[in-house]
Structure 1
């Protein structure tokens, strides 16, 4: 008696179908995310995540009513900077952890003992944070609540700071779980992106980029809903995007992904409403620029670069966005050429940083980790392209989404040019791979037309489950390996 080849695979198909449920992927995400995130929150020294001291200062400053911060004059270098009021005990903790400098610096037992022994004194100090003072405060609230609750509960400053990290992780896990539960498709890509070592590292710190990534994943998941049957989800996604854009305005093009599918009724009315939602971000940016923002100051003077339209024998000591904008206006082709050149020259570096160059871009993971996560992301993306449901979305929708994603990438890179690159230089300095993670969830909408996908719900779920398996394997591996790497580097 012959056996059909298809019947031979039926047990495997039934197993995959049994696992292919969003709630099971949510449970897997919560297990891995909580375990790995807790490891990172407690093992990485306070302040040893990129930009964490300034982000912590922003969160702590909210307890003192510092919604925007204010400009101050540096008493030593006599330049204008942006600062917020902070509790001296909180500042002292990360200063002790960074006594040996940023990067792969071991923390001695004496430093740890000093940090744990810090006590509340009631004193405040000004913390210079020019690169975060203009961020909208909403996404810092979990950390602020943790700092305030720890102080009210009588916890030591050390435990209070750790509580701030834990609540940031909890907020991220809640948004990630909601994204996986509510998405109509794209579970594999969302799961892989949310479980990247860099994502979890940011989520388990005071760095607001972790909350940005979680909010982006949830917004993208909500936007997979039907605009006619579930309009409330679409406007909740728009609200999340507004919070993200008020924190970092260059991601504004992503707001208009809410126009998809283009075949939805009242398209022009939706466009008008989304355009109005962009106004608060512009107002916040203008107020922050007027009240507290200050140019980045550099101790060593420098001459402007070749794109500068004025005199080249000038000595500059700051990075002035207005001067950088003059350079771009004088060379309009540079608006496209500078980002494209940076991507062509540094794409492998950006990918490695997005996967996980932890600490102050100094904790390098094993080579197999980067290779495994690159494969996991590719498989997850292919699964998303194949397994989306057949609906009214067309190839034109995919093209429109691609333009918005590209616009977000270009705007983010040009913002780094204006705010961080020496005036008039013909390159972009300061781009980090984690900046692309906020955009990654919106690759969900680049999927081709409905003719590419299988017809049944079970088959689509099976494809997405299989596409998420490499990411699950890598997440399990990192759960075992990351503590060893962190212990070797920092302790």
Structure 2
């Protein structure tokens, strides 16, 4: 019996994560009905457009952007609209059956999806490939969307698993982030957000491998530059995270690093170039004013910010005071159209688990200062992450909030998920990849605790989704 327990405790983080992530991903695929994630229809519309070869969208007029899709492509109102914002409502099986039987129409008509048409096609490509296959194998529209959910889930979990396998800092922290219900629900949707998070997790994981004795090869830095470029064109605020490699070496090493210092600059340069290229060819030609007529104005808001700089501290304070608590819940998991909450005890459990995980990951450096990350890396990483968070708030203040409003509108906790993995760079370096602690016995107990949390995570996620929709 003791040998069995010892073998169970010795399970690697990679195997444990892969098992529970697969189960949670399957639960989300099976239990979340079509169209029941934020902007699901518009993300699917962008995927269909890319599958048709429309890598750049179309701007019809000053108020409409999107493209020409099959004439019977469902509107948001047709995607089980009675469920949205009504937590007490369950799936109407007759409505679902009728929707599930709808085939792809060969005729085309205009469809508006202005909030997703501006997104670069890269992270939509897996979904576009299976959509192309679905349309040419007589799958229905809903069957095709489920195929997209499956491929996004598989690729996202695979990338997260790879990240956990390669990481040498903060492995338990990365594992916890990748297991949050919000992440799992995004993975199992048509949204690009699940893949963006997985790519951010992989990027952070690769950066945790950099140290004085292994500064990274030229090919390594080219790969990091490509990853940051993809992240930036997919979510522009992540451009600020590409500054993090500039702080990976102490100042004395930076001055004498030779060619290496130019390699560390490559991610930032590549990110700026990628952003400018997509902005010119893909974003500017299709951008429309969001919420036109409600007091929003991109140029007007920028002008207001520039002429009222002293109002910004109060704007930040008021926004955080009003929305921070709910944004933290959304970061952990508020599913559906932000109408599916978890029990209060579950959020408290996640708070405790996050705090315990951060303490566990930092403890080896507290016990042995020689293991601590260098101060330059800590400073640059924290600063870059804060700038990225600020960029999220600023972008939503510009595009989604009435000019001069005292609170920033439209901020959701999930927007900060791709920024969070880079915090792993602050933790001490482990001797081997995917190692949680220098002590084998400590690692076993940490894995036992994480496995217990993942059991609660899986059961609670499944129960909440089943009770909410079915």
TM-score interval (norm. to shorter): 0.7 to 0.9
Give the structure 1 partner of residue 286 of structure 2.
Answer: 292
Q: 1:322 aligns with which of 295, 299, 322?
A: 299
Listed one character per residue, the Cα deviations across residues 378-397 of structure 1 (whole Å, up to 9, x for unaligned) are 22222222347956841232
Aligned partners of 2:351, 2:447: CA distance in 1, in Å? 13
Give the structure 1 partner of residue 458 of structure 2.
Answer: 479
Q: 2:230 aligns with which of 243, 248, 263?
A: 243
Q: Is the 8 A contact 1:405 1:439 kept in 2?
A: yes
Give the structure 1 partner of residue 80 of structure 2.
Answer: 98
* Paired residues for 1:320-469 under 5 Å: 320-387=297-364, 393-447=373-427, 459-460=438-439, 463=442, 466-467=445-446, 469=448
Q: Are 1:174 and 2:167 counterparts?
A: no
Aligned partners of 1:241, 1:354: CA distance in 2, in Å? 22
Structure 1 423/466 Cα, relative in aligned 2: closer, same or farther at 3 Å? Answer: farther
Aligned partners of 1:403, 1:391: CA distance in 2, in Å? 22
Which structure has more relative contact order (CA 8 Å, sep 6+)? It is: 2
Aligned partners of 2:269, 2:415: CA distance in 1, in Å? 25
Q: Which runs of 5+ in 2 are unaligned?
A: 430-434
CA drift at 1:417: 0.7
- Matched residue SS, 1:398: helix
Q: 1:113 aligns with which of 71, 82, 97?
A: 97
Listed one character per residue, the Cα deviations across residues 149-189 of structure 1 (whole Å, up to 9, x for unaligned) are 22223323322211111000011011101100111121101
Structure 1 460/386 Cα, relative in aligned 2: closer, same or farther at 3 Å? Answer: farther
Count of residues in Structure 1 that have an aligned counterpart in Structure 2: 449
Listed one character per residue, the Cα deviations across residues 62-92 of structure 1 (whole Å, up to 9, x for unaligned) are 012221211124xxxxx52211232345x32
Q: Is the 8 A contact 1:223 1:233 kept in 2?
A: no
Q: Is the 8 A contact 1:219 1:237 kept in 2?
A: yes
Give the structure 2 partner of residue 64 of structure 1.
Answer: 52
Q: Is the 8 A contact 1:134 1:288 kept in 2?
A: yes
* Paired residues for 1:123-142 under 5 Å: 123-142=107-126
Listed one character per residue, the Cα deviations across residues 416-435 of structure 1 (whole Å, up to 9, x for unaligned) are 11111112212101111111
Listed one character per residue, the Cα deviations across residues 357-397 of structure 1 (whole Å, up to 9, x for unaligned) are 00111001111211111111122222222347956841232
Q: Is the 8 A contact 2:171 2:436 kept in 1?
A: no
Question: Considering only aligned residues, what root-mean-square deviation do their CA atoms show, in Å?
Answer: 2.7
Aligned partners of 1:326, 1:60: CA distance in 2, in Å? 37
Q: Are 1:230 and 2:207 counterparts?
A: no
Give the structure 2 partner of residue 312 of structure 1.
Answer: none
Structure 1 459/279 Cα, relative in aligned 2: closer, same or farther at 3 Å? Answer: same
Q: Which runs of 5+ in 1 are unaligned?
A: 1-10, 74-78, 303-315, 451-455
Structure 1 429/435 Cα, relative in aligned 2: closer, same or farther at 3 Å? Answer: same
Structure 1 387/243 Cα, relative in aligned 2: closer, same or farther at 3 Å? Answer: farther
Structure 1 35/458 Cα, relative in aligned 2: closer, same or farther at 3 Å? Answer: closer
- Matched residue SS, 1:296: coil
Q: Are 1:46 and 2:46 counterparts?
A: no
CA drift at 1:25: 1.1
CA drift at 1:458: 5.8
TM-score between both structures, scaled by the size of structure 1? 0.84
Q: 1:29 aligns with which of 17, 30, 41?
A: 17
Aligned partners of 2:299, 2:384: CA distance in 1, in Å? 25
